[in-house]
Chain A
C-alpha cells in the first residue's frame, strides 16, 4: 500500500486503515491535497486487507473547507462543474465503496470537510469541535452534495437552517441533530473511532444502512416539502435581497431530495457553478480574503508586536464603556480612568449595560459579570495610577487641548514603550502627538459605535507613528477580535470621509429637484445601504455634519465648500433624532418626512427656479457612487490610504456597505473606470467642482487600469 503521500499519513492495523489528513495550515481542500486524498481513499477501499477506513485530521482541523483563493480565480463555470462532479464521484465512492468509512472529526469540520464526513458511514466527533456549511457567506452553496446529504441526514428544516445561515454548530448540537453519531472526549477520539470500527467489523453496525444518499426516513412527504419550502422561501426572500445563494440553496433542495441522487447532485453542481462565476460570490470571497489580509502590511511584516496585558481606558462614556467591554472579553486587565467618582460610577453602569445581551442570552450570569469586573477591572481618578499599564486608549472629550494635556501628563507616568492610542474621530492625530517627546508612540485607534459590536477598528498612523507602535496596535486589534484597517492621518481619516463622499452627493440632487424619498429609496432599497443620506444624517446630527463639512472646506479646499442648501437646512435648527426632527420628524410612532425641511427645500428650488423632477434610481446611484469613488481616489492621491482591499473592507465592516457589492472600489472596477470618469466629467459640468475627477481616475480611465489586480 502506498504510504508516501505528502498530505496524508496512512496507518494500517488489524484491518483498519487510518488516513490522517495533514495539509497545513488548516487542512484546506486545495487541489493537490484533494488529489492525494482521493488516491489514498480509493487505494484503502480497494486493498483487500482493509476492512474499515477511518478518516481524521492532524491538528485543529478535520477539514476547514475549500481553498477560496483558488475559487476567486475561476472565470468559467463549465470546467469547474466538471471538477465538482469528480469530487462527487469520489464522495460517492467513499459512500458506496462497499467498506465502512468512519469520519473521526478531530477539529473544525466545515464546508467540503463536512460534505466528505457526510459521505462516510459513521461520524465520531471530539466534543466541542465546530461543524457547518458556511458557503452561503461567500455567496455560494454547498457544492459537494451538501444540499442533498444534509437534509437526508438531519431533515429539511434543520438542514436549511444550517445552510441558509452558514452558522457553525458544536459537535454536541450536531449529535442531537443526528449529524454526528457519537461524541468523544477529544483525547479519546481515536479510541472511540477504533471501537466503532470494531462494531462494523463484527456486524453490530452496518455501513449499508448508513448510506446518506439512500436515507429516506428524514425526508418530508410531498405535502410537507411543499409547505416547508414555501415557509422557508417566505422567510428568506426579504433577507436575501441582493444575495442569490440562499435562493439557490432553496432551489437545490426544492428540486432535489428525489430518489435520483445523481441528478440531484448534478443540479447542485450546476447551481454552484453559476454562482461561482457571478459577481456576488466574487465580491463576498474577495471581502473574506480582504478580511484575512487586513492589517498585514509590508511595513510591519518583520516586527514582533508587544503583547499588552494591562490596558488603561481613559473615559467611560459611550465609546469608553464599549472598549472596556472588549478588553474584558479579550481577557485583558483593564484600568478605567474617569474624571471623578461620579463619572466612574456612571461608567461602571454603562459597562455593565454593554453585557446586557450576553446576560439575556444566558452566555453570562450577573454574578459572573460581577466577578469578572471585580477580578479584571480597576477604576481610578488618578492618572498617576496608570504607571503599570502596557497600553492607553483615550476617549475623552473631543477637545485638542484637553487631550494633549492628558497625554503630556501620562508621558511622565507610563513606561516609554507604552503606546498611546486615541479614539478621536475628528481631531488630527499628527497635531495631537506633537506635544509628546516621543510622538512615535501615538496612534489613532478609531472604534465604531457600538464598539463592543462593530467589527471594524480603523487604525490611524500619524506622521510620526513608529512602525513598532503600528505593529503592536494591529496585533492588539486582532486580539480584541476586530478587523484592523490601517490608514494615514487626514480629516475624517478614511471611513468618515469616505462615508461623507458616499452620502455627499445627495444635496446636489435635492437642489436639482430630486425628492429626498427617491434618494433614500435608491440608496437603501436599490443599492443596499442600511441607511440613506437623510436617515444617516439624522442619526449623526445635521449640525455635526455641517461642522465637519466646514472643516473639510477649510482643510481640503474649495471643492468641499458648504452647499447653500446644506447651509439653509442647517439654519433651520432641526438637527436630527436628538432634536426630535431632522430630515424626518420622529414625534409619531413612525418617522415621517419633516415638512419644515421640505419647506426649506421647496423655497430653495423656487428661488433658483428649479422644478421638482423624477430621477431614476440608476441616475441617483451613479451620482452618489461616482462621487464616492472620486473621494476614494482623492484619498489615495493624498496618501491617506493605498490598499483598495482594506478600503472596501473598512466600508463594509464600518458602515454597513452591502457586502455583496464588494466595496466602493470593487464597484468602480465593475462599472469601469472609463465610465466612472465620463460620469464625473458630466457631473462636474452640471454640478460644479465637487465632482471634478481626481487625477487618478483620469489616469486609470486612460490606461485601463483597475483598483484590483485579480480580474
Chain B
C-alpha cells in the first residue's frame, strides 16, 4: 500500500443561490462546470505537478443532470483545456460526492494503480435546483413505487427525500433544544466571519470574475452566505421551514450555494520525488449506510469506522470538520461521539460558509488540512451526512515532510 497525501486544495468562493431570484446569486451567469474549470489549472499549478502527470480526474456533484452532466467527467477537462490523457469519471454520492472522489482517488493511489489523482466537486443550486423542481421538470424521476407501493412503505420516502424532515426527526431523537441549534448557527457565522476577516480563506479561494445582473463584473473572492452580524434574536424569529410545528428553520439549515472545488492527491513517494510539500496524509476513509429518515446521523457511525481503521480514539483528533447540512447534524455528532465543541468547525461550518452539495467534500477535507497546518494540529477528521441515508468520513494526519 502506498501512502496518499493531499498535495493541493483550491476552490472558488461559495455564492449564495436563489433559484427564485437568480440575480442575487453572484455566480448566476456562470455554470458549475465553468467555475470548476477555472479552479483546475490553478490547482495543478499550485500543486507542483505537470498536467500530463495526472492519471485520473474524479468529479462529484449531487445533481448530475442538466448542465451538470459531464460526459463521464470529461467536459471540465475540456473546458479547462487540460491534456486529453487525463482519465475521468463522474461520481454521485449526493452530499458525499466529492469526498467519494477523494476516497476513490485514495484507493487508486494506495493500490498502486495511480500516482496522481485530481478530485473535483461542483454544484450550482441556482442553475440546477435540488429537489422538487428537478422532478417537476423530469430531470430526476424517482420510481414512484417507492412512494406508493405498500411493499416500500417502511422506507418513509416522503421523509427520506426531504432533508428538512430528516433533520426534524433527528432533532426529535437527539434530546437537544432548539436554542442549541440557533446558538450553533450564530457561532458558525461568527467563526466564519472572523476567519474571513483574518484572511484565512484567501489562500484556498481563487477569485473569479463574475458578470452580475446589473451588467457589472464582480471579482468574487469571499463566501457570499456568511453573516457575521446574525444574532440569536434574529434566528429565534424565523419560522419553521419544513413543517408547521417543526423546529428546523432556514437559519439552522445550510444555505443553497454554488461553487467549484478541487483537491490534488498523490502518492507520498511521488510528492517526495517532485519536491512537493503536502498539506496532509490520508490515514483512513469510511462510508456507511444509515436509516434514510435520519440521514443526519450518518457521520456518527462513519467517524467511528474511520477512527477504528486509523487505530485512533475520538479524543485523539485535534480538529473536526463536520458538515453543517443542518446545525443538528453537527450537534448530534458532538453529542454522540463526546467531542469537545471547541475542536469542531473552528473556522465556521456549512451553515455560514455554505454547502454546495456534491462539491462540499473537497471543502471539508481541504479546509481541515489547512486548519491542521495553521493551528499545528496532527490528526483531523472530516465527515458529512448524505441524503438517502449515508455517512462519509476521512481522517488525515499532518506530518513533517
With an 8 Å Cβ cutoff, the count of chain B residues facing the other chain is 23
Contact with B along A206-237 (1 / 0, CB 8 A): 10011000101111011111000000000000
Whether the pair A209, B29 counts as a contact (CB closer than 8 A) is: no
Whether the pair A221, B132 counts as a contact (CB closer than 8 A) is: no
Q: A214-B20, A216-B28 are in contact. Are A222 and B136 (CB under 8 A)?
A: no
Measured between beta carbons, the chain A residues less than 8 angstroms from B129 are: 209, 217
Say yes or no for B400: interface residue by CB 8 A criterion: no
Query: B35 — nearest CB in chain A belongs to which residue?
Result: A221
How far apart are B22's CB and chain A's nearest CB, in angstroms? Answer: 5
> Per a CB cutoff under 8 Å, which of A214, A218, A223, A259 touches B34?
A223
How far apart are A292's CB and chain B's nearest CB, in angstroms? Answer: 39
Cα(A214)–Cα(B20), bound, Å: 6
Measured between beta carbons, the chain B residues less than 8 angstroms from A209 are: 129, 132-133, 136
> Per a CB cutoff under 8 Å, which of A210, A214, A216, A219 touches B136?
A210
Say yes or no for B127: interface residue by CB 8 A criterion: yes
> Per a CB cutoff under 8 Å, which of B28, B67, B127, B136 touches A259?
B28
Say yes or no for B21: interface residue by CB 8 A criterion: yes
Q: Is the interface of A mostly helix, strand, loop or mixed?
A: loop
Measured between beta carbons, the chain A residues less than 8 angstroms from B211 are: 222
Cα(A259)–Cα(B21), bound, Å: 7
> Per a CB cutoff under 8 Å, which of B21, B29, B137, B138 touches A221?
B29
Measured between beta carbons, the chain A residues less than 8 angstroms from B22 are: 216, 259
How far apart are A637's CB and chain B's nearest CB, in angstroms? Answer: 61
> Per a CB cutoff under 8 Å, which of B31, B127, B132 touches A206?
B132
Measured between beta carbons, the chain B residues less than 8 angstroms from A178 are: 137-138
Count class of interface residues, chain A? 10 to 19
Say yes or no for A258: interface residue by CB 8 A criterion: yes
Say yes or no for A302: interface residue by CB 8 A criterion: no
Contact with B along A410-450 (1 / 0, CB 8 A): 00000000000000000000000000000000000000000
Whether the pair B213, A260 counts as a contact (CB closer than 8 A) is: yes
Measured between beta carbons, the chain A residues less than 8 angstroms from B48 are: none
How far apart are B58's CB and chain A's nearest CB, in angstroms? Answer: 23
Say yes or no for B126: interface residue by CB 8 A criterion: yes
Whether the pair B34, A217 counts as a contact (CB closer than 8 A) is: no
Whether the pair B128, A221 counts as a contact (CB closer than 8 A) is: no
Whether the pair B128, A206 counts as a contact (CB closer than 8 A) is: no
Cα(A209)–Cα(B211), bound, Å: 25
**Which residues in window 511-537 of A have CB below 8 A to B?**
none
How far apart are A42's CB and chain B's nearest CB, in angstroms? Answer: 24
Measured between beta carbons, the chain A residues less than 8 angstroms from B30 are: 221-223
Say yes or no for A205: interface residue by CB 8 A criterion: yes
Say yes or no for B66: interface residue by CB 8 A criterion: yes
Whether the pair B213, A221 counts as a contact (CB closer than 8 A) is: no
Whether the pair A216, B34 counts as a contact (CB closer than 8 A) is: no
Measured between beta carbons, the chain A residues less than 8 angstroms from B19 are: 216-217
> Per a CB cutoff under 8 Å, which of B29, B34, B126, B136 touches A205?
B136
A210-B136, A221-B30 known; 4 new pairs, CB 8 Å cut-off, are A216-B126, A222-B29, A224-B31, A258-B23
Q: List 20 A-B contacts (CB under 8 A).
A: A205-B136, A206-B132, A216-B19, A216-B126, A217-B66, A217-B67, A219-B127, A221-B29, A221-B31, A221-B34, A222-B29, A222-B30, A222-B211, A223-B34, A225-B29, A258-B23, A258-B213, A259-B21, A259-B23, A259-B213
Counting from the closest, the 9 A-B pairs by CB-CB distance are A259-B23, A222-B29, A221-B31, A222-B211, A216-B22, A209-B133, A259-B213, A259-B22, A209-B136
Q: Which residues of B contact A (CB under 8 A)?
A: 19-23, 28-31, 34, 66-67, 126-129, 132-133, 136-138, 211, 213
